[in-house]
A and B are shown apart, each in its own frame.
Chain A
C-alpha cells in the first residue's frame, strides 16, 4: 500500500519524537515508559490513566513531555470541591448580561493540547460528564458554549482504580492504563542523583506538536490486515485464561497498534506491534496475567521509538537487547573523554552481562559490548 507521505518523513518525525521523549526523561529514573506511552496515546488520539502512589514523578514527566513536544499544557489537581469553572473557565459575565451563558475558556482545559488531571476520579459528576465530551469527542459543551478542543492527549492520574461503577465506566475511557511504583531500592542512588540534575535542567522544546499530528494522520492508513488476525488470536488466548476486555477496548486497541506501527516508521502492522494490548488490560492483575498468557504472541515485540514501553510490556529479551544497543551507541557516541564515560560504559557492560549470557547475547548487542570493552580498557 502506498501512502501519500514518504515513509522517511514519518521516520524523521518519529526520530524527533524519540529525541523529545529522551530529553523529557533525563534525570527521571524509570519513567521513560510513561513518557513513551504519552506519545503513543497522543499519536493514537487516545488517553492514558496512571495509577500509583503520590510522589512518583507523574506530573513532572507529563509536564516535561508537554514542554518537549511544544504543546499548550493544562494541569490541575482535582478535589471533591473543585468547581467546573476551575477546569473549564468561568462564565463570561459580559455575555451573561446579554442573557447568554458562555464560558471563557482562555488558558483552560478546553484550549489545552496536552492535559494532566491529577486525582481525576475526585471530580464531581458535572465535571466528569463535561470531561467525557472533551475526552471522547474532543468537544466542549457547556451552556451556550460549544467548541472543538485541540486536545491531543489527556493524562489522568489516581492512586487506584475506583470501585464505584459509574467511575469505573469513566476510567474505561482511558484506553491505556499504566501502573507505576516508587523507584526500587537498587535505583535509589540514581534517583537522588537524577532528581538533583533534573531540578537544575531547563525544559527544552525538542519537537513540534505538528510531528505528532503528522504521525497521527498516518494512523488510519496503516495496513492492519495481518495484525488483525494475530490480535484476534491473542484475545482468544486472553479469554481462554479468563481475561476479558470490553468490545470497545478490543476495537480501540487497533488504533494503538496502528500508532505503534507508525512510530516504528512502518505502514504495515506486524507481530512486532501487538504489545499495546498489554496496556489496554484494565487492572494490574490482568496486565500481569496477560504478560504470561501472551508471552509467545508478543515474542517479536519491538519499537525503536518506544523501547521502554515495549520492554515493560513484554519482558522479552528482544526489546531489552534493543534498548541496551541504543544505550551503548549513545554512550559510545559521547566520546571517551566525556565526563564519566568509562563509568557509564562499565555500568552498561554490567547490565548487558546481568541480562544475557554468551549463548543468549544477540550479535548486534555483542558488537556494541565489544566496543564498550574497548572503551573501558582505553585509558583517558
Chain B
C-alpha cells in the first residue's frame, strides 16, 4: 500500500525531541547543560545515529537541527514528528507496524526512514549521557 506524509494541521505540544547525526550530538550537549533536577526527569534512548529525549514540553531542550515528536490521540503508542503525519489512519498504520515491531511505544521517523522503539528509554543521568558518548566514540 502506498502512502505519504502531510503537514500536521494542528501540531500537538511536543513530548520528545529527536536528533539525527550531528544534531544528535548537539542535542546531547544541550541535555547535559540542563539543571540536574530538570534533566533527570527526562528519558533518553539512542542508537548509532539517533538520540531521542522524551519528557514534558517545557523541560525539553532546544538545539539546532532537532525535530520535536509526540504521539497523537488516535494512536497513542505511535510517536511522530509534531509537524507532519502519515496520510492514512494512524490506528491502522500502528497496527500494521506493531505486527513486525512488538515493542511499544514506537517512533516513526521520516528521514532517515526508521522505526525506533522507545520502551528502553532511561532517566537522563550523567552516567547514561557518558555511556551514550562512549558508544558513539567507539
Contacts and interface: CB of A to CB of B under 8 A. Distances in A.
B58 A354 contact: no
A189 B58 contact: yes
B83 A356 contact: yes
B9 A357 contact: no
A356 B82 CA distance: 9
Given A315-B9, A350-B68, A360-B7, A355 B60 contact: no
B64 interface: yes
A349 B62 contact: yes
Contact of B13 (A184, A349, A360): A184
A30 B62 CA distance: 22
A331 interface: no
A346 interface: yes
Interface in A343-358: 346-347, 349-350, 353-357
A349 B82 CA distance: 14
Contacts of A184: 13
Dominant secondary structure at the A interface = helix
Contacts of B9: 295, 315
Contacts of B84: 357
A186 interface: yes
A190 interface: yes
Contact of A354 (B7, B61, B82): B82
A96 B11 CA distance: 63
B67 interface: yes
Contacts of B61: 346, 350
A186 B13 contact: yes
Contacts of A346: 61-62
Contact of A353 (B7, B13, B67): B67
A9 interface: no
Contact of B14 (A295, A315, A354, A373): A354
A340 to B, nearest CB: 12
A23 interface: no
A240 B101 CA distance: 43
Nearest to A295: B9
Nearest to B11: A355
A186 B62 contact: no
A350 B68 CA distance: 8
A306 to B, nearest CB: 19
Contact of B83 (A189, A295, A354): A354
A355 B82 contact: yes
Interface string B68-97: 100000000000011110000000000000
A354 B64 contact: no
A376 B56 contact: no
Contacts of B124: none
A373 B64 contact: yes
Nearest to B69: A354
Contacts of A355: 11, 82-83
Contacts of A376: 62
Interface string A32-72: 00000000000000000000000000000000000000000
Interface string A351-376: 00111110010000000000001001
A189 B82 contact: no
A360 B83 contact: yes
A109 B112 CA distance: 63
Interface in B80-135: 81-84
A98 to B, nearest CB: 63
7 contacts: A186-B13, A189-B58, A315-B10, A346-B62, A353-B62, A354-B14, A355-B82
Interface of A: 184, 186, 189-190, 295, 315, 317, 346-347, 349-350, 353-357, 360, 373, 376
Given A189-B56, A353-B66, 5 more contacts: A186-B57, A295-B9, A315-B9, A317-B7, A354-B68
